[in-house]
Structure formats: C-alpha cells, structure tokens
Structure 1
Amino acid sequence: MLALFKPKPLLAEQEQQWLIDTFIWAVENFDVEFFTQHTQITLPTVEFFPDSVSSIEEMATKVFNRVSSYAGMTAWPIQLVAPQQLTPQVFPQFKFSQQLRGEGAKLIVPPSQAINISFNPNQVNQPQDLVASFAGTLATILIHHVGVLPPGGKDYLAQAADALACFLGFGVMMSNTVYQFKGGCGSCYNPYANREASLSETHTVFMHALVSYFKNDKRSKQHLKPHLRGQFKKAQKEIKALVNNSANPLLLAYMPN
C-alpha cells in the first residue's frame, strides 16, 4: 500500500546508473585534480563573462577564451576560426607532460597543426547556446585526445560529450540550452541558433546536479530555467541518497565535507 505513494524517480535506474558511471569515467580520465581544486560551476552572469564586445567575431573570441579558461584548456592547441574558414581536418597527435588541464598542462609533443574549431553566428543573441556549444566542443576534443571510450562505447560518444561538458563546469548552460521555447514572438525565435543536444533536459540536469553535489555548489539552481529547478532539486535529493548508500570508493572519496 505504501508503495503507491513512493515518489517516482527522476530517471530510470539504468539511465541514472549510466550518468553515474560516466561521471566516474570523467573522474578517472579527465584530470580529477583540476576538477577538485579548480573547477567551478560557470554561471551565465557578468561575474563569469564580463567582457564588452562590438562584433559577432569579437563576442565569439571572448566567450571562447573564457570557456577554455574555465575548462582549464588554455594550453591546448585549439584555434578559433571564422565559419567560412573551417575545413575538414585530421585530429592531430600531441602529448602533455603531466596534467591535462590547468597551469600544469605543458605540451611536450606539439601537434603538426592546431585543432580548428568555429562558432555559430546565429548564437550572438543566445549567448548561453554559444557557451554550451563551445563547452561541448572542448569536451569532444578531450575525449578524442584521451581515447578512452565512455560507458556504453562509441555509440554513446555524443551523450558522453554533453555529460563531460557538465563535468567541466558548464552544466547550467548545458541544461538551459537543451531545448529553446519558441515563445510568443515567432520573429524572435531562431532555430538555427540552438545547439544540438544529445542528452535530454532531465539527463543533463541530473548530470549537472551530480557535478554540483561534488563541487558543493549552492548557487547554480537559481540560474536554471524555472521549469528545471524542480528537477534539479529532486536530482540533488536522489544523488545524496545514492552516494550515502554507495560502496564505490571514487564516489565516497570526493564527497563534500
């Protein structure tokens, strides 16, 4: 009888477990030292993006520089180019001395060429999409460089890139940009500005809540879209119970004090 009133979990157990396994995969492969010591939950505020810009190109450059800095990837051989300059390329081989991210990331085997990435000019009026798109691109580059497949294998690479972007600290923008409402003004809605999301809103919010739990985040909930805040709160409650009942040493090791 009491089971009738048991709240339905935010995600199915298998989906929840994939996100937890993917978080562990990120911890094991993408510089957990930087994550614990330096990663912060990046917010769509002037505090994190204070730059003034006068053109689409300048905005793209300034946002990319901020995103790569917060991700700890300023030492990476990545070059932002205009959309018309982007051409197919082979992913170059390079090697770091010790850390993958942060000040300790030093190239000891430089690539033959930089990794060229670009931006979507339509996102100039949707800066959260621009941030999330850059974060997803950096996550994809990290995965390609490290060469370790995520849980589920190569069929889950796109979803893992979204999850890893949350691990890098961009869960608020990743969650807010999964789906854009058309709103009441059709002329204001530009579908070409939306990023291509591989995780659903609920999966992205859960991953963001998981990262936020281990970062002891107290601020990001208010910056989520209103309809996502309830999901985030529910995810936080479920994650706390899951970690408290877990025997996984990696999860227990990074519990907040």
Structure 2
Amino acid sequence: MIALDLARGAGQLHIMLFSRTKPPVEREEYEWLLACFAWLRTVLDDADIRPELVLPGNPELSAARTASELFDAVKRLAGMEEWVCRLERFDAPTRPSDPRIVTEVSDAAVGTFSVVDEEVVIRYSSAMLGQPEALAATFAHELCHYLLVNAGDPPGGPDLLEHATDCAAVYIGFGVLLANSARTFEQWNDGEWSGWQSSASGYLSEQALVTATAMFAALHDYPWDQARDALKPYLQGDLKKAAAAVRKDHPDFKAALKSVDLLQWRYA
C-alpha cells in the first residue's frame, strides 16, 4: 500500500511506502489473544519460566503406552507432575447405523474438568484413545482448567473462560498439538455402511491457535518455523502470517505484554 504524507515541512512532499501485515484472524481476536497472554503472564506468575515447545513425536509422549501414562507425560511437560488429580474415561457416543446418515458432525466434549468433594477429576472420551497427540492436547486443555481454577475472569469476562483455557494450553507449549487436532475429517466403514465424519474439539479456531502459537514462539524466542514444520500443511501459511504480524507489531513481545492495559478488557 502507498500512503502519501502531504505535510509540506521544508517545502517537500514525502512519500511513505508501507505494507500492513495481516494475521490470519480478525484484528479484534488478535488483540484479545495478546491480552490473554498478558493476563496469563500475570496470573501464573511465570516470567522466568520457558516452557517446552511440544511437537508431534515428542519423546515423552511417544513413550506412553496407556492413557494414564500419556496423562502423566503431559503433566510433566506442563510442570504439573505434583498436582494431584484423578483421571477417568467415559464412553464416546456410538456412530449412527442408519444408512441414510452419510455425514456426521460431532462437536461433543472430548474431555472435562471438575472438582468433586474437593478432588480434581479430569475425564476423557474413549474416542480419543486412537489419537494420542489429540488426546495429549485434550489433557493439556483440561490441566489448564486446573491451573486457572483460582485465576478469576480472563480478558473479556467469564464467557471467554474456555477460549482462554485453550490459549493457556498454547501458552504452556501445546499449541501445535491443539491446532493439529482442532478439526478432523475422515472416512469410516463399519463393514456394512460407510460415510464421512468431521469433528471439532476445543474453543479457539485453528487460525487463532496458530496465531497464539506464533505469540508463544515470540515470547520464548523459539524459531517459529519449528512449529510451522510440525503443523498440518494447510495451517503452515497461517502460522507464517501470524509470525510476521507479531514480529511487525511487537518486535519486543515481552515489553508488549507489559504494556497491555488489562482493565480495558475487564468488561470488553
């Protein structure tokens, strides 16, 4: 884009060339993600912690042979191995057998967090057992509920708590796993009937998750292309756009977080 500066200081006409780098989400959501990172940095009091960027094929996750072992691995990677909670499985809904149903869209919960008689309980769907990296992302999200249980309302208020919990899972290093598992599309065949099934998990969109991942990389000085190369191919361009926008808008990302006025977001 070309902008003309018509100020006639020193009798000269100045021409300024600039291009605006756009993130893959709307500007309002981009600013909310920034505010959420600033809020998380405040409520988690972790300024000196550099979480690991957890990627597909992570050795600790790959070594797990059961859901319980995977859960323990996610707790270790999140720095929560000493946090006490009970893990439970619940059965996933069965696929309809009606042959007229050729497409099924499922947005059912794949994990839950609750406190029962002062005991923290995290539950996961049996449907996730064949998707260990997606299950690890689910565990990260539910553990972030545990992290934030006494944190108060996030930027924008209580209606955005689940979205902020997704953001928190990115904030502790699981952004790539969340983005890769946010939406799936697959064919099924039960021997008699077949069809297509799409499913969604989480609350932030894929584009919001990769934008938050770019912010995570900027905050902790990780090369953003490490995350890009581990993403689904169609999300890699979105991460590139997000990283470019963060770099242009906030060259010093830590300072940018300190400058966010969270009071402006209290009732946003």
Larger Rg: 2
Equivalent pair of 1:60/1:119 in contact (CA under 8 Å): no
Structure 1 vs Structure 2 CA RMSD:
2.9
Unaligned runs of 5+ in 2: 4-17, 92-111, 261-268
- 2-side partners of 1:65 and 1:143: how far apart? 19
Q: Does 1:63 align with 2:70?
A: yes
Q: CA deviation at 1:6?
A: 5.3
- 2-side partners of 1:238 and 1:177: how far apart? 24
Aligned length: 219
Q: CA deviation at 1:14?
A: 1.2
Relative distance call for 1:90 and 1:135 in structure 2 (3 A) is closer
SS at match of 1:45: coil
Correspondence for 1:31 among 45, 50, 66: 45
Q: Does 1:151 align with 2:159?
A: no
Per the alignment, residue 255 of structure 1 pairs with none
Correspondence for 1:124 among 129, 132, 143: 129
Deviations 1:149-194 (A, max 9, x none): 1000001011101001100110001111111122xx33398859x5
- 2-side partners of 1:179 and 1:81: how far apart? 24
Relative distance call for 1:90 and 1:43 in structure 2 (3 A) is closer
Relative distance call for 1:186 and 1:155 in structure 2 (3 A) is same
Correspondence for 2:84 among 57, 77, 86: 77
Correspondence for 1:187 among 183, 189, 200: 189
Unaligned runs of 5+ in 1: 54-58, 93-111, 253-257
- 2-side partners of 1:81 and 1:155: how far apart? 26
Relative distance call for 1:191 and 1:149 in structure 2 (3 A) is farther
Relative distance call for 1:20 and 1:179 in structure 2 (3 A) is same
Q: CA deviation at 1:224?
A: 0.6
- 2-side partners of 1:154 and 1:174: how far apart? 22
Equivalent pair of 2:175/2:210 in contact (CA under 8 Å): yes
Per the alignment, residue 250 of structure 1 pairs with 258
Per the alignment, residue 101 of structure 1 pairs with none
TM-score normalised according to structure 1 size: 0.75
1:78-227 paired onto structure 2 within 5 Å = 78-83=85-90, 91=115, 113-144=118-149, 146-182=150-186, 185-187=187-189, 194=199, 196-218=201-223, 219-227=226-234
Correspondence for 2:29 among 4, 12, 15: 15
Equivalent pair of 2:183/2:201 in contact (CA under 8 Å): no
SS at match of 1:244: coil
SS at match of 2:83: coil
Deviations 1:86-130 (A, max 9, x none): xx99737xxxxxxxxxxxxxxxxxxx6431112211112211210
Aligned AA for 1:234?
A: K
Relative distance call for 1:8 and 1:46 in structure 2 (3 A) is closer
- 2-side partners of 1:22 and 1:215: how far apart? 16
Among all aligned residue pairs of Structure 1 and Structure 2, give the percentage whose two residues are the same amino acid: 26
- 1-side partners of 2:56 and 2:75: how far apart? 15
Q: CA deviation at 1:206?
A: 0.3
- 2-side partners of 1:222 and 1:82: how far apart? 32
Per the alignment, residue 43 of structure 1 pairs with 55
